[in-house]
Amino acid sequence: MQKFKTFVLMITLLGTIACSLPPERPVTEIEILPLFKSFEVVESPEEVLAVLNKEGEVTVPAKFRGRAYYVKILATSRGLVVEIYPRKEAPKEK
């Protein structure tokens, strides 16, 4: 029974640690502007900044050279980390 209680406690602690947290220092618009110059992002820089500074991460749909991607931005203590994932676009209606 003691092992089960320890297991539940460990899972609970890991779950709370894994949640996204606000960054140690706020992200500025200057830091994310190069991303907006490279990609066609649907959301405005202000919206992305608000989510980044509140939750520490944001995933936005974007386009680069006509191809669709998801761009995930993480605010870490070392700076921004950007991950890019391809996505499928919905077929266009005629």
Structural domain that includes position 69? 21-86
The Cα 69–Cα 36 span in angstroms is 13
pLDDT given for residue 27 in this prediction: 87
Q: What is the pLDDT of residue 48?
A: 92
Q: What is the end-to-end Cα distance of the chain in Å, rounded?
A: 62
| Overall domain count for the chain | 1
The pLDDT of residue 9 is: 60
Which phi-psi region, left, alpha or beta, contains residue 27 (left: φ > 0; alpha: ψ -120 to 50)? beta
* Cβ–Cβ under 8 Å, residues 90 and 68: no
Question: Can you give the pTM of this predicted structure?
Answer: 0.71
Q: Give the per-residue pLDDT at 74.
A: 92
Question: Over the chain (94 residues), what is each successive 10-residue block's mean pLDDT?
Answer: 67 55 82 91 91 91 92 88 85 64
